[in-house]
Each structure stands twice: as C-alpha cells, then as structure tokens.
Chain A
Amino acid sequence: MTEQLAARAKSGDSEAFAKLFCEVQDELYRVAYLYVRNSEDAKDIVQETAYRCFKSIKRLRQCEYFRTWAVKTAMNCALDMLRKNRRTQPFDDYQVPVETVSSPENAVLASVTLEKLMNSLNEREKSVLLLKYMYEMSFDEIAKTLKLPIGTVKTILYRAVDKMKKENSYET
C-alpha cells in the first residue's frame, strides 16, 4: 500500500503524497520537537519537510525508504531552522502528559530520558543517536547519511551514550 502511494506520489499525485506523509507526520513532528523544543517551530518543520519531500519525491529511488528519507529531511529542516534562528525555546513549554505515565518510576524515566535527549545532547549527537537506535542504521549508513567519517560517527555516539549514562547515574 505504502509503495503504491509512493509510486503515485512520485507521479505528482498530491493526495497520494498526503496520505503517505500522514503515516509519518507524527513521528516527524516528534523528531523535530527534539531539536527545536517548541510546538510551533516543530509544526513549521513538518510543513517544510512536506514541502521538500513532495518537491523531490521523484528522486526517491526506493519507495520503502520513504520513512527514513522523510526523517532525514526533517532533521535537516530542524538543523536549518536552528542555524537560522540561533535560538531555542525553553524546555518549560513542554509537559509530560499524565496519560502517558503509568507509574512514578516510569514518569521519572520517561521525562528524564526525553529531557536528556533534548537538553544534554547537541544536534549532531541527537542525529547520530536517533539514526542508530531509533532507525537502526549501521555506522556506515549513518556516516553516509550525515556525511561524516565513520570513526567520527562512532565517537559521537560513544560520547552521546556516555553523556546520557553519566546523567542517568548522576540523577539516580
């Protein structure tokens, strides 16, 4: 189904693209939010991602990679926005919704993890961490995606994990 939609989208069918994009838009928003830390900018990034993806979907060779491609585009949009604005919103405009927290322990874990993701890591570290663990890319794939030497990717990941680990042990 996804591939059919992607094929139609590649031929310029905006409705098909909208349906296809709908499947990933929440995820894109959340990834964007990790970088910009506020809802309005994250929505702008989703819009910009939709714009860029629709404009260049013809160049997407393998439709099954639409999700990963869209995420990479969203990351790039977020980085562009950060570079342009050189500003981020304070973390305090975000509240962990009560309904997602099943226990006090989970609440601490969830909020701390999210806070660490957003505040402890720089943009590069966020990108590498997400691509490695969330999208399960290999080091080689991440290196190609971010155009970094593979050793640098490993070092960045190493540092990112180390940072989170240290914060976790510090807080616990």
Chain B
Amino acid sequence: MKREIEKALQTIPVPELENSVRAGIARAERNGITMTRSVKKIAAISAAVVVICAVAVITVMNSRISVEKVLNEPVADFSPIVYNDATEDISLQLCGISDTNLVVRAAVNDAENSRLCGLSAVSVGNFTVVDKDGNVVADDEGLAGTYQIDTVVYKLDKDGNVIEGLEELHEYLDRAGKEFKALCDALEKGYKLHVSSLNGTDEDGNPIEIYGDWESELVINTVLDGSAFVADDGDVRVEFMTKDDGSQDLVITMNDTSKYPYSDVVTIWPTVYFTFDEDGNMMGATQGPPSSRAVRGGSFGKIFKTEEDGQITIVNAEYGHYTMRIYDLGIELANGERYELQGFWEASFDGNREPLKEGETDEQYESWKKEYDAWVEEYESSMSGH
C-alpha cells in the first residue's frame, strides 16, 4: 500500500516552490500581512498595499461604535460570554458546538467605519482554544485538538448584521435554546478561545486581514451519571439494543404506532444530540434536520432502517462506550407529513470493543480485526498483482 501511495504521489508534478517557501518564511518573520496567491492578485505584492493595510488596521483599531443588536438576539439566552477586543470594533462570540466544531460568531461593532463598512464576510484566522485546565485543544498549528473552529464565513451587512451563515444556528437556538442552556449548566467542560486575527472579505471579494486580541469563553458543565440507559416518554422509546452478534444499535421505538406509523417513516432526525465517551468527554454534537435520509454527524448512525416491530434502528458504526443524548426528534413520513416529538432522551452504549486495555482481548474486536486484516491483505494482494 505504501508503495502504491508513494507511486501515485510521485506522478504529481511539482512546480518550483522556492518562492512560495521563501514567502512563507518571510511572512513568519514579519508575522504580518498574508502573502497568499489571492492577496498577491489584489495587492501585487507591493509595499504600498502593506502600508495601506497598516493604515487601515490602525483606523480600525482607533474607531468604536457599539452595535449590540447582532449579539443580543437569540444567542443571549444561550449565555455565552462575549468579549470585544480592546477597541470594541469587532466582537467575537463562542456560541456552541456543532458537530466537532466550535461555532464562532463575529459581529462588527463599528458600522460607520469606512473599512468595516466594506467588510462583507469574516472568518477566524489565528486562534487558540484551551480547555478549562488550560490545555490547548485546538489551534491553527498542525492538527491539534478535537475541536476546530468552524470556518463558515459569516457574511455581514453594512450595519454589522449577519446576513448569511447563521440561519441554522438561529433556528437551532430558537428551537432548543433553553434545553441547550440547561445542558450547558450541567456539563463539565469549558473552552476558551483566543483569536489574534480575523480574515475578512470586502464587498469586492478582496481578502482583508484584521489583527486584534479577542477572547471568548464557553463553559459547558455536565456530569454524566450513566444511569439512564433507556429513555421512554410514552410516545417514543430510545435505547441501545444488543444484537445477536453482540454489537449494539441505537433503536428508536414508536410506542404508539397509530400515532406515529413507523412503517411509513422515511426520515428521522434528532434536533439536537450529543455523544459522550465514558469519561464524559463530548465526542460529537449536531442539531437540525439532516438534508437527507440519514442521521448526520457525530459518532453515530449514518443509516437507519425501519423494522417490522415498530423500531427504527440507527445502525451503530463505532466502537466504544458512549452516552447519547437527544433533544427532540423529527420524523417525516412517506406522505410528507412531519412530526416533531419534543423531549429529552438519554441512552448509554457499551460496545466493549475499543479502547482495549493493554493485554486485554475482546472476542468481538478480535473478530472485527481479523476481518479487517483479511480485507487489507486481500486488497494489498490484489494491488500487488498476486
């Protein structure tokens, strides 16, 4: 396999890279203006642009007008901690976790500033995320951290309002804000985001880089007691069920099939769900309806199937010990009808396959590994022509 990959990579012709490398080093030495291709296009790598940018940055840093309307809408109920930079030109907000991304929201406070007026999009540039113990869990260097900054670009209008990119978050907060807040109160994790640059785009699509010093904190505290293995609110039952082969599936059962005719279900989605490992670390989170016939994101279920006995099975695709929490379920039937089931369900799952402790064996894991090794061997044989 290594040989094949190397061979494949070798077929990619490499252009002259010295200038790119030199530019990268020079940028690091300056620790300043971006010299990527896109910037080069508009700036023609000229010192004049550097000067203009510097002047503009100074202008940005020296101006201040408070615009709270963006920040105080539905997110206020979410109780994030918002920090502005020293000049209050731009606010950054660590709003929550979506999939494995920390969601960051940027708002322009200075709507009158000529430079910021032209800012039509903002995304996070240099950043560091630390957990409550001060450990760096994500940054813009290497592949550190489980969580990465969501790089969805937020488009802003001239007043600093978000006009694109946060609709989903708004919907999410409107529908589940209180529940999420309750969850936040109970979680045990905290993250602090420090940002030292923002990448912006002006109305003409030209990149702008803004430097500052922003810090935002997200505190989520939950203690998992692991006691709720099955959840049942009368209408819906959520549980992990062990199959004959020892693996487990997340199963959602419609208790009242006259109300929710499971056999017609074509889509099911959790409005919000979170998965945790056995230490209570969040493994994944998602919200909102999926775009297709699947439960998206996180560690669980890419596929589901309806069973004759009224159960909808979200096939477990991972190994390990997880607890899943679901806030609200949505169901779409074949005839297009949709049902929203309000509730909170929690179920724990112990695949007992990973991680294995040193010297410990597990029959299922061994079986899986055997199958995996056989596949790899067969594949490598086929690739090597044997």
Residues of A at the B interface (CB closer than 8 Å) are 14, 17-18, 21-22, 25-27, 29-31, 33-34, 39-41, 43-44, 46-52, 54-56, 59, 69, 72-73, 75-76, 80, 83-84, 94, 96-97, 100-101, 109-111, 113-114, 117, 129-130, 133-134, 136, 145-152, 154-155, 158, 161-162, 164-165, 168-169
User: Chain A: which residue is nearest B139 at the CB level?
Assistant: A56
User: Is the pair A73, B142 in contact by a Cβ cutoff of 8 Å?
Assistant: yes
Closest residue of chain B to A50, judged by CB? B24
Stretch of B15-23, B80-88, B254-262 lying at the A interface:
B15-23
Give Cα distance in the complex from A147 to B317, angstroms: 18
- Of the candidates B11, B14, B37, B199, the one whose C-beta lies within 8 Å of that of A29 is B14
The residue in chain B whose Cβ has the minimal distance to the Cβ of A165 is B379
Give the contacts of B7-56 with A (CB-CB under 8 A): 7-15, 17-18, 20-25, 27-29, 31, 35-38
Do the beta carbons of A50 and B25 come within 8 Å of each other? Answer: yes
Does B189 sit at the interface, judged by CB under 8 A?
no
A75: B residues at CB distance < 8 A: 143
Distance in angstroms from B201 CB to nearest chain A CB is: 10
Known interface pairs A34-B12, A152-B318; 15 further A-B residue pairs with C-beta atoms within 8 A, sorted by A's residue number? A29-B17, A48-B24, A52-B28, A56-B141, A56-B142, A59-B141, A84-B199, A97-B11, A97-B13, A113-B8, A114-B9, A133-B2, A133-B5, A161-B376, A168-B383
Is A80 a contact partner of B17 (Cβ separation < 8 A)? no
Cβ-defined partner of B143 (8 Å) among A46, A76, A133, A168: A76
Asked if residues B20 and A50 are in contact (CB atoms below 8 Å), the reply is: yes
* A54 and B15 contacting across the interface, CB-CB below 8 Å: no
Chain B residues, Cβ within 8 Å of A152:
299, 318
From known contacts A47-B36, A80-B151, A113-B5, infer whether A52 and B140 are also in contact, taking CB-CB under 8 Å: yes
Q: Is the CB of A151 within 8 A of B353?
A: yes
Number of A-B contacts (CB under 8 A): 178
Question: Which B residues touch A72, using CB under 8 A?
Answer: 142-143
A51, A55, A149 interface centre (most CB from chain B within 10 Å): A51
Tally chain B residues at the interface, Cβ within 8 Å: 60
12 A-B pairs (CB sep. < 8 Å) = A25-B21, A29-B12, A40-B37, A46-B24, A54-B24, A54-B29, A76-B143, A117-B8, A133-B5, A151-B355, A155-B317, A161-B376
**How far apart are the CA atoms of A55 and B145 in the complex, in Å?**
19
**CB-based contact A158/B375 at 8 Å:** yes
Q: Which 7 residue pairs spanning A and B have beta carbons closest together?
A: A50-B24, A151-B354, A151-B319, A51-B24, A114-B8, A54-B28, A47-B20
Contact partners of B9 in chain A: CB under 8 A: 27, 30-31, 34, 114, 134
CB <8 Å contact, A165 and B375? yes
Query: How distant is A103 from chain B, measured CB to nearest CB, in Å?
Result: 12
Determine if B282 is an interface residue (Cβ-Cβ < 8 Å): no
Chain B contact residues, CB within 8 Å of chain A: 1-2, 4-15, 17-18, 20-25, 27-29, 31, 35-38, 123, 140-146, 151, 153, 199, 277, 283, 299, 317-320, 351, 353-355, 369, 372, 375-376, 378-379, 382-383
Whether the pair B29, A150 counts as a contact (CB closer than 8 A) is no
Contact yes or no, A161 B12, CB < 8 A: no
Q: Of A22, A33, A49, A50, which one neighbours B12 at CB under 8 angstroms?
A: A33
Q: Which residues of B contact A100 (CB under 8 A)?
A: 10-11
Nearest B residue (CB) for A12: B29
Min CB–CB distance B306 → chain A (angstroms): 24
Query: Does B17 contact A46, Cβ atoms closer than 8 Å?
Result: yes
Instruction: Decide: A165 near B378, CB < 8 A? Known: A52-B140, A73-B142, A133-B1.
Output: yes
Report the separation of the CA atoms of residues A71 and B18 in the bound assembly, to the nearest whole angstrom. 17
When the two chains form their complex, are residues B372 and A150 in contact, meaning their CB atoms are under 8 A apart?
no
User: Given the complex, which residues of B lie within 8 Å of A27, measured CB to CB?
Assistant: 9
In whole Å, how far is A124's beta carbon from the nearest beta carbon of chain B? 11
Q: Which of B11, B141, B318 contacts A96 (CB 8 A)?
A: B11
Contact residues in A for B369 (Cβ distance below 8 Å)? 154
How far is A76 from B143 in the complex, measured between Cα atoms in Å? 6
Query: In angstroms, how far is the closest chain B Cβ from the Cβ of A13?
Result: 11
Q: Once the chains bind, are B25 and A84 in contact (CB under 8 Å)?
A: no
Q: Which listed residue, A29, A44, A52, touches B141 by the CB 8 Å rule?
A: A52
Do A117 and B11 touch (CB < 8 A)?
no
What's the nearest-Cβ distance from chain A to residue B348, in Å?
16
Q: Among B5, B15, B29, which residue has its beta carbon within 8 angstroms of that of A14? A: B29
| Nearest CB of chain A from residue B293's CB, rounded to whole Å | 19
Distance A8 CA – B12 CA, assembled complex (angstroms): 31
Is the beta-carbon distance between A111 and B31 smaller than 8 angstroms? no
